[in-house]
Amino acid sequence: MELKRRYTNFSDKLKELFGARVQKLSIDAGFTCPNRDGRVGVGGCTFCDNSSFSPDYCRTAGGITEQIDAGITFFGSKYPNQKYLAYFQNYSATYAPMSVIKARVEEALSHPKISGIVLGTRPDICPDEVLDYLEELAKGCYVGVEFGVESTNNAVLKSVNRGHDYEVSEDAILRASGRGIYIGAHLIIGLPGESQEEALQGAIKVANLPIDVLKLHQLQIIKNTRMCDEFKASPENFELFTMEGYLEFLAKLIPMIPANVGFERFVNQVPPGYLVAPKWGIKNHEFTAKLDKILEKYDLWQGKFTNMPQK
């Protein structure tokens, strides 16, 4: 079967929505994490080193407006007409008093080049009060919330010190739905204690919730994390994906995902200085080219084997 693209790419959906290429600008808006400061837990999730996913312009540029300016300088020369979403990526962007959340969101939205906002957060820290505010905001601009679900397996969530169970994620997604907010769910594939089949079934389950975006990536062991210590002490407890194995995993998953859900990413590559394993040495666009090839080889496409009702 001849297909232009064999899965729904969320960036294509954004392009359709805005009539232009859309770039998310990662902003460190000064939020913290309740799984580090004692409110939910201490020490954080065992896999987490939050600094490993902050781009350079966000580490060095100062306040929200300055980071937006720096991000636009960084990306703008290649695509001068693109639109921008402010992406509050670091820590938990709904973990602050309402007045603080509003001030930070509104500072970002007051920037003339910003067309919307995306908040990355934990599902246990997104009360209705925040969702009510975002619902109002969504009447005038693009608003997205990305929930870190990470796994649907409660034993796995406990072992990585996540501090919430899967049911909390489902509840947050359901409470956020029907409000005009674009809902994303983030999953890590390959956490210790979760078989590939469990991860596959978990991702299918999450994709059948009322979400718009699915963000996946392979488990990476990052330097100076608790998981790194665990990995060094007992590597036999980890089954890290080879690139080929992960491509095969995605070839099983993608046909089971409803076509209305957009994929925002399949892989993540933390900077080489942070990464312990697995070292695939491949750029994201090279990985997606390989994925396209394997889907073509097996003649698979998103939704091919979906037997659950579409939302």
Choose which of 88, 91, 246, 301 interacts with ligand SF4 (CB under 6 A): 91
Smallest separation, CB 26 to ligand SF4 (Å)? 14
Smallest separation, CB 224 to ligand SF4 (Å)? 13
Residue with smaller CB distance to ligand SF4, 70 or 149: 149
Residue with smaller CB distance to ligand SF4, 44 or 202: 44
Kindly identify the residues of this chain, within the stretch 250-279, that bind ligand SF4 according to CB under 6 A. Answer: none
Choose which of 14, 22, 27, 48 interacts with ligand SF4 (CB under 6 A): 48
Residue with smaller CB distance to ligand SF4, 50 or 65: 50
Q: Is residue 122 at the binding interface for ligand SF4, with CB under 6 A as the rule?
A: yes
Would you give the DSSP letter of residue 116? E
Candidates 12-20, 43-51, 206-214, 237-245 — which segment interacts with ligand SF4 by CB under 6 A? Answer: 43-51
Q: Strand pairing partners for 119?
A: 88, 145
CA–CA separation, 162 and 155 (whole Å): 10
CA–CA separation, 253 and 190 (whole Å): 14
CA–CA separation, 45 and 35 (whole Å): 7
Tokens in use for 111? 């920037």
Q: Residue 292: in which H helix or E strand, if any?
A: helix 284-298
Torsion of CA 116, 10, 240, 52, to 10 degrees: -20
What sign results for the dihedral spanned by CA atoms 132, 134, 140, 142? negative
Do residues 163 and 35 lie in contact, with contact meaning Cβ atoms separated by under 8 Å?
A: yes
Q: Binders of ligand SF4: how many residues, by CB under 6 A?
A: 10
Candidates 41-49, 99-107, 191-199, 245-253 — which segment interacts with ligand SF4 by CB under 6 A? Answer: 41-49
Tokens in use for 295? 């889907």
Q: Which amino acid is at 107?
A: E
Residue among 160, 19, 146, 134 nearest 91 (CA): 146
Smallest separation, CB 143 to ligand SF4 (Å)? 20
Would you give the DSSP letter of residue 96? S
Choose which of 25, 29, 45, 119 interacts with ligand SF4 (CB under 6 A): 45
Candidates 45-53, 55-63, 106-114, 181-189 — which segment interacts with ligand SF4 by CB under 6 A? Answer: 45-53
Q: Is residue 58 at the binding interface for ligand SF4, with CB under 6 A as the rule?
A: no
Smallest separation, CB 308 to ligand SF4 (Å)? 29
Choose which of 6, 24, 36, 186 interacts with ligand SF4 (CB under 6 A): 36
Choose which of 29, 33, 247, 253 interacts with ligand SF4 (CB under 6 A): 33
Tokens in use for 247? 């491509």
Kindly identify the residues of this chain, within the stretch 147-176, that bind ligand SF4 according to CB under 6 A. Answer: 148
Residue 23 backbone dihedrals phi, psi, to 5 degrees = -115, 130
In the complex, the residues that contact ligand SF4 under the rule CB under 6 A are 33, 35-36, 44-45, 48, 50, 91, 122, 148
